[in-house]
Structure 1
Amino acid sequence: MVMKGKPSFMKKKKSKNSKASKSKATVRSTVVSTRTKNNKTVLSEQDKKHVRWAYSILMRVLESGKHPDNELTRVIPPDECMNFLAQVRTVFWKQASMVELTAPINICGDIHGQFSDLLRLFDKNGFPHRANYLFLGDYVDRGKHCLETILLLFSYKMIFRNHFFLLRGNHECPNINKQYGFYDEVVRRYKKPGVWFAFQQVFTHMPLTALVGGKILCMHGGISKQMNSLQDLRIIRRPFDNPQVGTLAMDVLWSDPSNFEKDYGPNSRGVSVVFGKHALWKTLKKLKIDMVVRAHQVVQDGYEFFANRRLVTIFSAPFYCGQFNNAAAVMQVSRQLVCSFVVLRPRKKVARRRLMPAK
């Protein structure tokens, strides 16, 4: 089903805590059956087995860290982790380079290993058994709990594969996450570089863009000179390790908006380009879409508009790296493509145990 209306915006919402009173057994039943019944998705016996496995991984991630014997790498040993990642890779490979989605859906920006804040995000907007999600990349690096973060997201992807979507960010590339923390965390905690390589194999297969309701184009970075039609995005070839310089894939992962009059210019990051409002408007017209939603940059209020609200940057890691006093945001898109924002204010310390899903 494709939405015909144009996106519009509401004032930002006050956050409401997600409340549930289900036991673990009831939640498990919801995880396995509710979505398939309501949306007529038929799973093979093998797929059902993988869903149960993903649920087991999910619960171990959520329970890990409460006491020394529950350290994540003990409850999810390296061999099991690598086998699980191989199954996640298969799920991504079955999806297109551009996934085409319907609303309602929640759209989230960078997470960067801020596991407690990710749980806060779900607590405010609904855990994935109650809401649809699209994440725009950058799950690892810089934060303290990258393993918990990425395994939680991959578990949800396996369980809700038609309702929970993860795009690739520039930090899901080996030349980046080997430098900015993920490699060091994996090797320090698992003692096996092979686990890091297994994660890279998953990252190389992830989708790069998403189209919501036929009108809202989503990616991690931004637009490109080479973006002449939606078909250009559909035919980006995967898998690849690091995007080649000058390619559409590079710009989708790396480009940034800029307040200048030219269409495109050099990017201060040293890779890809920056683009102006005129380039954006031309691209929207060529692609016959209404707006672009992207991540990739810290913004003070969690979201920031560009070019008369035809582009919005979303960042979903509050108090980023413990250094920025920024808020985080989630963009909620209704069935009618009405867009609103839920903002999470920064907290310096968050009690992890309180951020478990309500039982």
Structure 2
Amino acid sequence: MDNPPPPDRQINSIPYPRTSLLTEERLFDPSTGLPSISRLTKHLQDEGRLDERCALRLVELARNIFEREPNILVVQRPVTIVADIHGQFYDLLTILAAGGDPAKTRYLFLGDYVDRGQFECECIFLLFALKIKYPNNINLLRGNHETRQMTKAFQFKLECEKKYCSKALYNACMNAFDALPICAHVDSRFLCMHAGISPDIQTLADIANLDRFKETPHSGPLCDLLWSDPSEDFDTVSDAQPNFKANNVRGCSLPICAHVDSRFLCMHAGISPDIQTLADIANLDRFKETPHSGPLCDLLWSDPSEDFDTVSDAQPNFKANNVRGCSYFFSYYACRDFLLRNNLLSIIRGHEVQKDGVRWFRKSSRTNFPVVISLFSAPNYCDTYNNVAAILKISPDQKLSVIHIQPHGHPFVLPNYENGFQLGERCVVYFATQLLLSFLNMYSPDELAADDGRMDKTGMELLNKKKLIESMEQAYGQVKKTNNIALNLRGLTPSYKAYKELLARPDVKALVHEAEKGRIKDYDQALQLDQIFERRPST
């Protein structure tokens, strides 16, 4: 049972946190082995924690389900799609209330459940419990933060250690993250993943054949699905296919083909931007005068480009993603062609904060529907962005509707999950060292010396103590300064260790100086500063 709140609390309007741990016996129904969602939600909402055995059982049960699922989940409509949550547990409760009862509503989550927010364990426990209780309604995909590298660089590993003093819980979560599916094929029309497409993925079969049960690598198709972004010129480039240029030599474009030895495709001239598969050629109407444009013309008239033998082997529709430090920026053309190849309408992704919660990218000229939809479900991201979040509902009649989510208040958490005793001890030591130094600074080394100018034993001891206290004052002062900056930056900063390394960079120092003054007040400023922390660590 919880201990009653002390009678002398100064602010009784703030709910008293739960003091008892939620055990297996209280969480799991002995007859079904399923968790009580209402009991877990209430306990976590009141800042309660689970005992380690209960938490490990919850994570292991969820992992067992994930391991049996394919790389690409098949999800039918109606469905509610939720993107990045990032440890914002109290906003997750708002999302579930707005999206519909999970017992009766099908959900698809696009990853990034941890890091940035201060209630990451709570998000994981609730989502995993929902998966165990309603496995057919709750679909969870992996995000780029569901990795050992990112959870060490940011806060999730630290949160497991501080809240639960448990390396076993952290390791169990990492094993569960390794098993999370990576994509979902929704309503036979949409492909959903955390980030985007890859130059190494041409078809859905390529995704289905990936080995996902591992730490996300620094390159390759698995990395790209969790890390890539649309290019900056995604909405503005011409609709013309850049891999095919007008043939000014011939005056018009392209013959019918032969498939030789199951390995060679033979035709009079060349390929066409309107032909993706051999089936496209087989379905052409060839019994007519060759037209001046189109696939039949191209097969009979096209030529290799002048730079055919000299261009880079890299796919021009994918450019190196210098913002993330890995993966690619993918172009409109790359998406358009991928959708056409796989008979899809659009890609639905998360991965990037959106000021209004959702961004509808450029429409395809073929379908008049956006080729990419970016969704973001963490309102007032990092307690700094002042953005609105969104979730996307696909109805039984195939209509799409957006529900916007406003931020919900949450309990205050000190930087790096420091508790009140640690904060108090640090403050006392810091101010005590300042007080002692003020006394010791009253005497110069000359005044501590004896009449003959040499330092006696007492003087040497005082001088050494002064140096020791000075080093302590500097160390505690640096922690105080860093924590004060972290309070201003809130969830923008990574872990304390990674943050100290970043502070050595001049560009970070300049932006952090603004944060020290409390000037990070709007979406654009937060976005500018956060780009530094969005980059994937090199190790």
Give the TM-score, by structure 1 length.
0.79
Matched, 1:71 2:54: no
Deviations 1:193-212 (A, max 9, x none): 11101100100000000001
Deviations 1:163-192 (A, max 9, x none): 110000000011001111000111001111
Q: Distance between the aligned counterparts of 1:60 and 1:316, measured in 2?
A: 22
CA pair 142-310 structure 1, distance change in 2 beyond 3 A = same
The gaps in structure 1 that reach 5 residues or longer are: 1-31, 33-44, 353-359
Equivalent residues of 2:45, 2:90 under 8 A apart: no
Q: State the AA in 2 paired with 1:300.
A: K
Deviation at residue 79 of structure 1 after TM alignment:
2.1
Task: Specify the SS of the correspondent of 1:217.
Answer: strand
Q: Distance between the aligned counterparts of 1:345 and 1:60, measured in 2?
A: 24
Residue aligning to 1:315? 376
Equivalent residues of 1:229, 1:286 under 8 A apart: yes
Deviations 1:297-353 (A, max 9, x none): 000000001122111110000000011011000000112322110011345x3589x
1:280-291 aligned at under 5 Å gives the runs 280-291=335-346
Q: Distance between the aligned counterparts of 1:247 and 1:211, measured in 2?
A: 21
Q: Distance between the aligned counterparts of 2:64 and 2:147, measured in 1?
A: 18
Residue aligning to 2:319? 265
Residue aligning to 2:40? 60
1:240-259 aligned at under 5 Å gives the runs 240-241=214-215, 243-259=216-232
Deviations 1:206-256 (A, max 9, x none): 000000111100000101112211111111213112x22332111100000
Equivalent residues of 1:50, 1:158 under 8 A apart: no
1:13-32 aligned at under 5 Å gives the runs none
1:90-129 aligned at under 5 Å gives the runs 90-129=64-103
Deviations 1:39-76 (A, max 9, x none): xxxxxx99x7332xx226x623432353xxx631xxx2
Equivalent residues of 1:259, 1:277 under 8 A apart: no
Q: Distance between the aligned counterparts of 2:174 and 2:116, measured in 1?
A: 17
Matched, 1:147 2:121: yes
CA pair 187-278 structure 1, distance change in 2 beyond 3 A = same
Task: Specify the SS of the correspondent of 1:341.
Answer: strand
Q: State the AA in 2 paired with 1:265.
A: K
Further displaced range: 212-221 or 227-236: 227-236
CA pair 142-290 structure 1, distance change in 2 beyond 3 A = same
Task: Specify the SS of the correspondent of 2:386.
Answer: coil
Equivalent residues of 1:257, 1:274 under 8 A apart: yes
Deviation at residue 82 of structure 1 after TM alignment:
1.4
Residue aligning to 2:357? 302
Q: Distance between the aligned counterparts of 1:156 and 1:248, measured in 2?
A: 29
Q: Distance between the aligned counterparts of 1:87 and 1:346, measured in 2?
A: 31
Equivalent residues of 1:174, 1:200 under 8 A apart: yes
Residue aligning to 1:28? none
Q: Distance between the aligned counterparts of 1:299 and 1:108, measured in 2?
A: 13
Q: Distance between the aligned counterparts of 2:71 and 2:189, measured in 1?
A: 17
The gaps in structure 2 that reach 5 residues or longer are: 1-27, 238-315, 364-369, 413-539
Q: State the AA in 2 paired with 1:100.
A: V
1:73-222 aligned at under 5 Å gives the runs 76-222=50-196
Aligned-residue RMSD, C-alpha: 2.1
Matched, 1:333 2:390: no
Deviations 1:67-98 (A, max 9, x none): xxx631xxx21122112211111100111010
Equivalent residues of 2:86, 2:114 under 8 A apart: yes
1:231 pairs, out of 184, 196, 205, with 205
Equivalent residues of 2:58, 2:129 under 8 A apart: no
Further displaced range: 92-101 or 252-261: 252-261
Percent identity reads 31
Task: Specify the SS of the correspondent of 1:299.
Answer: coil
Task: Specify the SS of the correspondent of 2:176.
Answer: helix
CA pair 202-321 structure 1, distance change in 2 beyond 3 A = same
Larger Rg: 2
Q: Which has the higher contact order (CA 8 A, sep 6+)?
A: 1
Q: Distance between the aligned counterparts of 2:45 and 2:362, measured in 1?
A: 44
Q: Distance between the aligned counterparts of 1:190 and 1:112, measured in 2?
A: 19
Q: Distance between the aligned counterparts of 2:134 and 2:324, measured in 1?
A: 35
Equivalent residues of 1:100, 1:210 under 8 A apart: yes
Equivalent residues of 1:166, 1:206 under 8 A apart: yes
Deviation at residue 293 of structure 1 after TM alignment:
0.1
More strand by share: 1
